[in-house]
């Protein structure tokens, strides 16, 4: 009998996800097909395909979807995101990043334009009804926002609706000036379900208990959460004298109220975190590897290097390691035969409640 999950829309009455969810292989499979295969995902930077003729193979959500793709920029300077699977016998077409005038499969010589259209194929003169549209490489939607590229196999919503809350809040920042900083970027392997990692991110409730250094920079009493249709925003307010955005970098209402915004923490369904600090941006991509294994990819983009090392974004590695310890502990606890479900703190766990409702709607109906 398929298991179902329901989350009461009233946070004051609702129970959290059941503990068994985090170790349920059937739920992991549902998440992969119903959520991740239908969601917008980060796929690369504009710098990866900067000039006409650039081609770059990539894998969509490695370890989860494992979809082979290739980014190209054609001679007309148009960007494309294409399937990297040859339409003849499924060989991977592009093996290495580089420059090209067309794509050629190394198995039997089938050729494609940089826009994915079929060009030629040896020994196919006698094939009837050939070529057809099926012989082109499949094309995926591709959207650039700032310096970042996003794609989806079968998106459940328009990209513009997904990114809109971020654009409205931080679109005034010079995002094209943010530069990738490899020395501040790394991957973390975490022994927990991907949903537990997201839950932990979605509330500031644990900050005073888990993150001593971070708690010293933020005014916990003024910590806020805003809910949006496909994500949410947590706003960290700096304590007196701590690093914060300038008045012209925050909203007019925040500036009028004298808010000292230390950080904007955006979560976008289902697995993307965009953390804006006065020095720039930290992007966290949560990649499910298994029911109890998660890879978190941190990519840092520096805007103002002179503001590094101060405030809420000063020591992200320490905060990450503290988060890892707590979510790995929760993963073990959620598997207890003596644990069922918890309740929500209405003023602190709105983001977690929203996330659980979205999860339940996507995978919890038993179909």
Question: 231 forms bridges with which residues in the sheet?
Answer: 228, 268
Report angle CA 74, 77, 79 to the nearest 5 degrees. 65
Q: What is the pLDDT along the chain (367 residues), one digit of tens a residue?
A: 567 899 999 999 999 999 999 999 999 999 999 999 999 999 999 999 999 999 999 999 999 999 999 999 999 999 999 999 999 999 999 999 999 999 999 999 999 999 999 999 999 999 999 999 999 999 999 999 999 999 999 999 999 999 999 999 999 999 999 999 999 999 999 999 999 999 999 999 999 999 999 999 999 999 999 999 999 999 999 999 999 999 999 999 999 999 999 999 999 999 999 999 999 999 999 999 999 999 999 999 999 999 999 999 999 999 999 999 999 999 999 999 999 999 999 999 999 999 999 999 999 764 4
Report which secondary-structure segment, H or E, holds 288.
strand 280-290
Please state, in angstroms and rounded to a whole number, the distance separating the CA atoms of residues 265 and 286. Answer: 15
Question: 27 forms bridges with which residues in the sheet?
Answer: none
294, 194 in Cβ contact below 8 A? yes
For the domain 41-152, what is the CATH superfamily, name and number?
Answer: Rieske [2Fe-2S] iron-sulphur domain (2.102.10.10)
Structure pTM?
0.96
Domain ranges in the chain are 41-152, 170-362
46, 54 in Cβ contact below 8 A? no
68, 170 in Cβ contact below 8 A? no
Please state, in angstroms and rounded to a whole number, the distance separating the CA atoms of residues 139 and 136. Answer: 9
Whether domain 170-362 has CATH 3.90.380.10: yes
Q: Is 302 helix (H, G, I), strand (E, B) or coil?
A: strand
């Amino acid at each position: 009998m398929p298991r179902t999950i329901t989350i009461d829309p009233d946070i004051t009455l609702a129970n959290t996800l059941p503990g068994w969810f985090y170790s349920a292989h059937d739920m992991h499979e549902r998440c992969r097909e119903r959520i991740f295969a239908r969601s917008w995902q980060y796929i690369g930077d504009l710098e990866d395909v900067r000039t006409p003729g650039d081609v770059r193979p990539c894998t969509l959500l490695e370890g989860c979807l494992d979809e082979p793709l290739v980014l190209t920029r054609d001679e007309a300077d148009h960007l494309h995101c294409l399937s990297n699977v040859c339409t003849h016998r499924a060989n991977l077409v592009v093996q290495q990043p580089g420059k090209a005038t067309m794509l050629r499969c190394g198995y039997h010589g089938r050729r494609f334009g940089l826009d994915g259209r079929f060009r030629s194929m040896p020994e196919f003169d006698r094939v009837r009804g050939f070529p057809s549209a099926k012989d082109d490489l499949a094309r995926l939607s591709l959207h650039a926002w700032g310096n970042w590229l996003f794609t989806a196999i079968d998106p459940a919503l328009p990209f513009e609706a997904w990114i809109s809350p971020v654009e409205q809040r931080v679109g005034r920042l010079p995002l094209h000036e943010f530069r990738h900083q490899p020395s501040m970027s790394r991957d973390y392997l975490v022994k927990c379900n991907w949903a537990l990692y997201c839950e932990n991110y979605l509330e500031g409730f644990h900050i005073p208990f888990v993150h001593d250094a971070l708690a010293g920079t933020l005014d916990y009493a003024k910590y806020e959460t805003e809910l949006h249709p496909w994500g949410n925003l947590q706003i960290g307010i700096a304590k007196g004298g701590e690093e914060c955005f300038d008045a012209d970098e925050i909203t007019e209402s925040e500036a009028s109220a004298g808010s000292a915004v230390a950080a904007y923490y955006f979560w976008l369904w289902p697995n993307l975190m965009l953390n804006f600090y006065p020095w720039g941006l930290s992007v966290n991509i949560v990649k499910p590897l298994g029911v109890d294994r998660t890879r978190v990819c941190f990519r840092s983009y520096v805007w103002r290097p002179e503001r590094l090392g101060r405030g809420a974004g000063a020591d992200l590695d320490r905060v990450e390691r503290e988060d890892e310890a707590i979510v790995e502990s929760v993963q073990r606890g959620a598997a207890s035969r003596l644990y069922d479900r918890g309740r929500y703190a209405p003023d602190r766990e709105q983001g977690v409640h929203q996330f659980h409702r979205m999860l339940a709607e996507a995978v919890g109906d038993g179909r």
